[in-house]
Every structure is written in C-alpha cells, then in structure tokens.
Amino acid sequence: MPLKIAMIGASSIDFTRCLMQDLLVVPEFTETTFAFMDIDARNLDMVTQLCQRDIQANKLPIKTINTLDRREALKQAD
C-alpha cells in the first residue's frame, strides 16, 4: 500500500536530500509520495528538483509534492 510521508521544513537542502537518498534504498518506500513543505519557496523548489532528479536517476515510482501549506502536506500523510 502506498505511503505518504510529509517532510515539514524541507527546504534544508542537505538534510532533506540525504534523508530522501536513505529512503530510496528501502524497498518498502518504492511507491511513496513525499510531501515537502516549507515557507521558503525558492529553496523548496530547489530541493524538490534535486530529489526528483535522484528519483528519476534510480527509475523509481516515487512521487513528490511541494507546498507552502503545512495542512496540505499533512493531509492523508502516514
């Protein structure tokens, strides 16, 4: 069953990208949607692009969502 994981404060590029890379190697997370949320739209977009590049490079069916709205990120999150 697909999971949704919300990462609040996700514009921290190093932390979010390293955490994402750690999760990409766990088979149980291969169909996960990651909701990245932060108040810094510029960094949030940059983090999302970097993570999507890693996901595509590994040919994984993981989805990402980025939002400035905490409630949206947490909506239906596991």
For residue 1, pLDDT beyond 80: no
What are the tens digits of pLDDT across the range 61-71? 999 999 999 99
What are φ and ψ of residue 30, in 5° steps?
-70, -20
**Ordered structural domains, the chain, with CATH:** 4-74 (3.40.50.720)
Tell me the pTM.
0.89
What are the tens digits of pLDDT across the range 13-46? 889 989 988 888 888 888 899 999 999 999 999 9
- Which amino acid does the sequence have at 23? L
User: What pLDDT is stored for residue 20 in this prediction?
Assistant: 86
- The number of beta carbons lying within 10 Å of the beta carbon of residue 55 is 18
Q: Which of 6, 11, 78 is nearest to 49 (CA)?
A: 11
pLDDT above 90 as % of the chain: 64
- Which residues lie across from 63 on neighbouring strands? 33
